[in-house]
């Protein structure tokens, strides 16, 4: 008889974040604990490895700013809690950085499987560098994947969170390389009337009927 395997619907942008309960460096944590909060769940391949160590230092460096934006951080790999604890103590000793966010010990790969963090073509045993941004309604808002050998860019992760929150708060899309303080875009018109009205709007700078930008007013 073939062994039965549970198949999961992998999370996609706009879909509910898969439920989880896991052991972490902060004790048991579950999706429920993050109700009404934004959070970033990120995976790394393995403790005590060079790229991952630089990333952990960098994640800790942006963590205070993420928290200022109301976003929590959770790390994950398939290593044990003891390994995580030894590694974060090692990071503290070598980099003078206390890792303040919880790190999930996903030994049975349950969370990694539900979130699609393992890329079997690259590694059957390690989690890739996945980043899931989940909003306060527990909806997946963005997904980023990096390979084992490339460290992630924390500035981009911060920028992404700021752009998502600006879109939610002000109802505007943001252009390429947008940073807070830059002009924002205006969603394209859906009617002839709306298209014509744009030409009269003194607050818009339009390059063409579908491509208009404006200052973001508080």
Which class for 146: exposed (0-12), middle (13-18), buried (19 or more C-beta within 10 A)?
middle
Rounded CA separation 74/215 (Å): 34
Q: Is 51 in the site for ligand BEZ (CB under 6 A)?
A: yes
- Does residue number 149 form part of the binding site for ligand BEZ (CB under 6 A)? yes
Burial 2-41 (b: 16+ CB within 10 A, else e): eeeeeeeeebeeeeebbebebbbbeeebebeebeeebbbb
Beta carbon nearer to ligand BEZ, 149 or 153: 149
Residue 83 found at the interface with ligand BEZ (CB under 6 A): no
> Considering only CA atoms, which of 157, 178, 167 is closest in space to residue 66?
157
Closer by beta carbon to ligand BEZ, 9 or else 149: 149
Stretch that binds ligand BEZ, among 14-22, 49-57, 82-90, 198-206 (CB under 6 A): 49-57
Does residue 133 contact residue 164 with C-beta atoms inside 8 Å? yes
Verify binding: residue 49, ligand BEZ, rule CB under 6 A. yes
Taking the complex as a whole, how short is the minimal distance between the CB of residue 46 and ligand BEZ, in angstroms? 5
Smallest gap from Cβ 44 to ligand BEZ, in A, equals 7
**Residue 52 lies near ligand BEZ (rule: CB under 6 A):** yes
d(CA 140, CA 12): 7
Listed in sequence order, the residues at least 6 apart from 86 whose beta carbon sits closer than 8 Å to its beta carbon are 47, 48
- Which residue in 40, 41, 51, 52 is the catalytic one? 52
Considering only 14, 50, 181, 202, the residue that binds ligand BEZ (CB under 6 A) is 50
Q: In the annotation, is 212 catalytic?
A: no
> Known catalytic residues?
52
Q: Which residues bind ligand BEZ (CB under 6 A)?
A: 45-46, 49-52, 126, 148-149
């Amino acid at each position: 008889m073939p062994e039965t395997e549970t198949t999961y619907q992998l999370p996609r942008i706009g879909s509910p974040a898969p439920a989880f309960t896991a052991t972490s460096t902060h004790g048991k944590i579950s999706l429920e604990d993050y109700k009404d909060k934004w959070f970033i769940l990120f995976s790394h391949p393995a403790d005590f490895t060079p790229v991952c160590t630089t990333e952990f230092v960098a994640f800790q460096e942006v963590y205070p700013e993420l928290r200022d934006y109301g976003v929590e951080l959770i790390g994950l790999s398939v290593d044990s809690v003891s390994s995580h604890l030894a590694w974060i103590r090692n990071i503290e000793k070598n980099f003078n950085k206390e890792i303040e966010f919880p790190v999930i010990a996903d030994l049975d790969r349950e969370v990694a499987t539900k979130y699609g963090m393992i890329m079997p073509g690259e590694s059957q045993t390690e989690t890739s560098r996945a980043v899931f941004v989940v909003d306060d309604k527990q909806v997946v808002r963005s997904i980023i994947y990096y390979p084992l050998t490339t460290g992630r860019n924390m500035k981009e992760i911060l920028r992404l969170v700021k752009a998502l929150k600006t879109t939610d708060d002000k109802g505007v899309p943001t252009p390429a390389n947008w940073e807070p303080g830059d002009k924002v875009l205006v969603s394209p018109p859906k009617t002839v009337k709306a298209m014509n009205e744009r030409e009269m709007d003194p607050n818009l700078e339009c390059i063409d009927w579908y491509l208009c930008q404006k200052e973001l007013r508080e």
